[in-house]
């Protein structure tokens, strides 16, 4: 493979795709647009050309301009698309940021409000299987027809209004989808829109929203350091950038440093900021709350979602928002405490019915159990490992038949894979498997899985680096005593602490595969009733570890597979394990 080989498509290719799709839509007589005559896959392929290619992305990181200028550019794109920032006020937006749990918080919030009979819009990122997952109406991804119609309308409008002096007529990928979401929500006349911040907050393109109804900040940690800063305090400053004057905002318990920064940001902006009481306080005097998402860490997200939903309902003069209960004094709290109330039946139903794929998700398939969690920061990986170990403990089988634990891992961007892998060591995996976020080695017809921001060489080399990190950790036999120490979650319950792991009787073996499909073929050994590829590729078992491991996997009484490190990896695995998600 040549080192400069890139998966990126050039701008001329994008224009060619657009012209071809336009001709298909208009026909020889130049008739009106018809979504039925346009291809969803063509729309997604054209959208993918707006991804930044690898070399340009590297250049941009080394020559970062004024981030405020990028926000102003987003406003110009919005105007070119036919909207003004004032038009977004109609969407009654709930704007949510954070390092971990922001997607789950959005999902809880949207489902609670939908249980009140409200028509909801929900914009999130990234997608797992299909790009249309990012834009949802009433919890469901927009249809292929609706996505195609709105994509070409927006694309054509931006093409028609481009500045002849500028060489860039189209916004970047995430900017385009954000614009498209606003158009879809307005056209579909939603009662409210839950909008998840992409990266950061202050200069994220979603922050052109000027009058949200309420804002939320989930748990903060270290991520996207090249863009947001290398300390939690710097990251907190970025996240607090979504605060607006007079607009209520809520946050979960945070470490003292970043919480002080959020408080200072709120005071500067004249934003009333409240600290969410823990979920236990809202459960007092009533039955315990049941969450649709597993993991103790989800209780923080649910507590935040309840406050956001109740505040939105209160601001919009809705009835049935939960009776206030006597709150404990908060003299020592750095922020005013948010209301303590009795969750209504609608709120309970919303929390119970929340679904959010790829986060603390389990799939049981005969002898195989898949544990899917897109954790990609140190704090979220700690939460993932606790959830995985607790799930193993609950499902522990009594018997002498061998059970096998397999890790399937990948990490992208500026994350620290060595730190993430070290946190995974105490899980005592028998095999560690590494592969890129590519479902297949060769390009497929599914444009949703394309990624033009990296080269093929880069992703394979990174997987080999992951394997080297894992081998080094194995040699050091590093098993940090994470489980007997206090929970890193702020205010986390003692139930998160698990007994220390006994020493692992042997080191885990590791393998690198060139794509997700090959990795799954080796892991499943034909034992997954849904994932049944036609035949394994030649040489799949050529490596001694692959050959001996295949026998172990075929004879195991149970196989437990943790897929983590990247939401894109989890999405690729789900695409193969759950074909219905691609329909």
Separation in Å, CA 331 to CA 328, 336, 490, 493? 9, 9, 18, 21
Asked if residues 23 and 468 have their Cβ atoms less than 8 Å apart, the reply is: no
By C-alpha distance, which of 304, 322, 303 is closest to 313?
322
Dist CA 583 CA 577 (whole Å):
13
Buried b / exposed e over 82-106, threshold 16 CB at 10 Å, is ebeeeebeebbbbbbbbbbbbbbbb
Q: What six digits make up the tokens of 17?
A: 């795709």
Question: What is the per-residue pLDDT for 12?
Answer: 45
DSSP letter, residue 208? G
3-state secondary structure string, 277-324?
Answer: CCHHHHHCCCCCCCCCCCCCCHHHHHHHHHHHHHHHHHHCCCCCCCCE
Residue 67, class by beta-carbon neighbours within 10 Å (0-12 exposed, 13-18 middle, 19+ buried)? middle
Q: What six digits make up the tokens of 265?
A: 């940001």
Dist CA 486 CA 155 (whole Å):
51
By C-alpha distance, which of 113, 112, 110 is closest to 123?
110
Q: Is 327 helix (H, G, I), strand (E, B) or coil?
A: coil
- Give the phi and the psi of residue 34 in degrees, each rounded to 5: -135, 115
Separation in Å, CA 457 to CA 54, 58, 412, 568? 11, 15, 14, 18
**Does a cis peptide bond (omega within 30 degrees of 0) precede residue 126?**
yes
The owner of tokens 């290719």 is 13
Dist CA 331 CA 295 (whole Å):
30
By C-alpha distance, which of 170, 207, 186 is closest to 92?
186
Asked if residues 363 and 577 have their Cβ atoms less than 8 Å apart, the reply is: yes
Q: What six digits make up the tokens of 98?
A: 């954070």
Asked if residues 242 and 201 have their Cβ atoms less than 8 Å apart, the reply is: yes
DSSP letter, residue 341? B
Which secondary structure element, helix H or strand E, spans residue 493, and what is its range? none
**CA 555 centroid distance within chain:** 35
Dist CA 226 CA 246 (whole Å):
31
Dihedral sign of CA atoms 232, 385, 218, 372 in order? positive
CB neighbours of 193 closer than 8 A, spacing ≥ 6? 91, 92, 93, 94, 120, 121, 122, 123, 181, 185
Q: How many other CB atoms are found less than 10 A from the CB of residue 348?
A: 19
Asked if residues 370 and 573 have their Cβ atoms less than 8 Å apart, the reply is: yes
Max Cα–Cα distance, the chain, nearest Å: 74
The owner of tokens 């948010």 is 338
Size of the chain in residues: 583
Q: Going from the first residue of the chain to its last (583 residues), give the mean pLDDT of each consecutive group of 10, the final group possibly shorter.
A: 36 47 42 57 93 51 68 95 97 96 97 98 96 98 97 95 72 96 98 96 95 97 78 95 98 96 97 97 94 95 98 95 73 86 97 96 95 93 96 76 94 90 95 95 65 77 96 76 42 39 60 95 95 80 86 95 97 95 87
- Give the phi and the psi of residue 71 in degrees, each rounded to 5: -65, -40
Separation in Å, CA 27 to CA 23, 33, 34, 86, 145? 5, 9, 10, 36, 18
Dihedral sign of CA atoms 577, 578, 581, 583 in order? positive
- Give the phi and the psi of residue 249 in degrees, each rounded to 5: -135, 150
Q: In DSSP terms, which residues pair with 135 in a beta bridge?
A: 123
**CA 495 centroid distance within chain:** 26
């Amino acid at each position: 493979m040549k080192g400069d080989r890139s998966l990126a498509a050039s701008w001329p290719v994008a224009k060619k795709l657009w012209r071809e799709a336009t001709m298909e839509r208009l026909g020889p007589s130049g008739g009106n647009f018809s979504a039925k005559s346009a291809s969803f896959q063509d729309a997604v392929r054209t959208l993918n050309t707006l991804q930044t290619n690898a070399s340009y992305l590297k250049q941009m990181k080394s020559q970062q301009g004024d981030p405020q200028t990028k926000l102003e550019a987003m406003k110009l794109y919005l105007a070119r698309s036919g909207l003004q920032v004032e038009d977004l006020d109609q969407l009654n937006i709930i704007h949510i940021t954070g390092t971990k749990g922001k997607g789950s918080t959005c999902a809880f919030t949207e489902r609670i409000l939908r249980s009140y009979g409200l028509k909801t819009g929900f914009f999130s990122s990234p997608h797992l299987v299909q790009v249309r997952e990012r834009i949802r109406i009433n919890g469901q991804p927009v249809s292929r027809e609706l996505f195609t119609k709105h994509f070409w309308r927006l694309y054509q409008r931006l093409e028609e209004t481009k500045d002849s002096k500028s060489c860039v007529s189209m916004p970047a990928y995430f900017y385009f989808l954000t614009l498209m979401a606003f158009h879809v929500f307005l056209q579909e006349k939603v009662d409210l829109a839950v909008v998840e911040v992409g990266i950061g907050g202050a200069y994220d393109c979603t922050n052109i929203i000027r009058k949200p109804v309420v804002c939320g900040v989930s748990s903060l940690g270290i991520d996207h350091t090249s863009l947001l800063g290398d300390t939690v305090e710097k990251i907190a400053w970025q996240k607090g950038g979504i605060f607006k004057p007079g607009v209520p905002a809520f946050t979960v318990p945070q470490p003292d440093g970043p919480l002080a920064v959020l408080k200072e940001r709120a005071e500067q902006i004249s934003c009333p900021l409240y600290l969410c009481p823990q979920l236990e306080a809202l459960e007092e005097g009533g039955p315990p709350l049941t969450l649709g998402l597993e993991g103790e860490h989800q209780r923080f997200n649910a507590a935040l979602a309840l406050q956001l939903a109740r505040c939105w309902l209160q601001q919009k003069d809705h009835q049935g928002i939960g009776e206030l209960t006597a709150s404990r004094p908060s003299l020592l709290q750095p922020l005013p405490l948010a209301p303590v109330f009795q969750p209504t039946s609608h709120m309970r139903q919303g929390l119970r019915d929340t679904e959010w794929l790829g986060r603390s998700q389990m799939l049981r398939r005969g002898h195989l159990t898949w544990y899917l969690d897109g954790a990609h920061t140190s704090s979220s990986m700690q939460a993932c490992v606790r959830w995985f170990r607790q799930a193993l403990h609950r499902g522990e089988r009594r018997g002498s038949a061998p059970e096998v634990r397999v890790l399937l891992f990948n990490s992208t961007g500026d994350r620290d894979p060595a730190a993430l892998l070290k946190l995974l060591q105490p899980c005592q995996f028998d095999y560690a498997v590494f592969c890129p976020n590519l479902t297949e080695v060769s390009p497929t017809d599914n444009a949703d899985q394309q990624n033009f921001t990296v080269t093929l060489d880069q992703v394979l080399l990174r997987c080999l680096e992951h394997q080297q990190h894992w081998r080094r950790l194995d040699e050091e036999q590093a098993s940090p005593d994470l489980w007997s120490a206090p929970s890193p979650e702020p205010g986390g319950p003692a139930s998160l602490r698990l007994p220390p792991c006994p020493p692992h009787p042997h080191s885990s073996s590791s393998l690198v595969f060139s794509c997700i499909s090959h990795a799954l073929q080796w892991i499943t050994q034909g034992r997954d009733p849904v994932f049944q590829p036609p035949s394994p590729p030649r040489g799949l078992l050529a490596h001694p570890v692959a050959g001996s491991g295949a026998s172990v996997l075929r004879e195991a009484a149970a196989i437990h597979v943790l897929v983590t490190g990247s939401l894109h990896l989890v999405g690729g695995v789900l695409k193969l394990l759950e074909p219905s998600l691609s329909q």
